[in-house]
Amino acid sequence: MQASVGDRLLVHGRVVGQQDRTAEVIEVLGADGSPPYRVRFEDGHETVMSPGPDTVVRPFAPEG
């Protein structure tokens, strides 16, 4: 997995009824865009994570 600052991580729910979550990559801690990443979720919670196979990277796309 490769990500850059500003990319979004879409974390799919693992349990029936669990909502998908989106987090913004605010810091890349691994070499060459590799995990772990410091991320900020929509509710403002920040954490360091190494995404699993249930996560998809959505590249940053500036509006306009």
pLDDT tens digits for range 27-40: 999 999 999 999 99
Q: Which amino acid is at 29?
A: L
Q: What CA–CA distance (Å, rounded) separates 21 from 42? A: 8
Q: What CA–CA distance (Å, rounded) separates 38 from 11? A: 14
Q: What is the mean pLDDT of the chain?
A: 91
Domain spans of the chain, in order of start: 8-58
User: Confidence band (pLDDT; 50, 70, 90) for 13?
Assistant: confident
Q: 19-44 burial string, b = 16+ CB within 10 Å, else e? A: eebebbbeebeeeeeebebbbeeeee
User: Confidence band (pLDDT; 50, 70, 90) for 61?
Assistant: confident
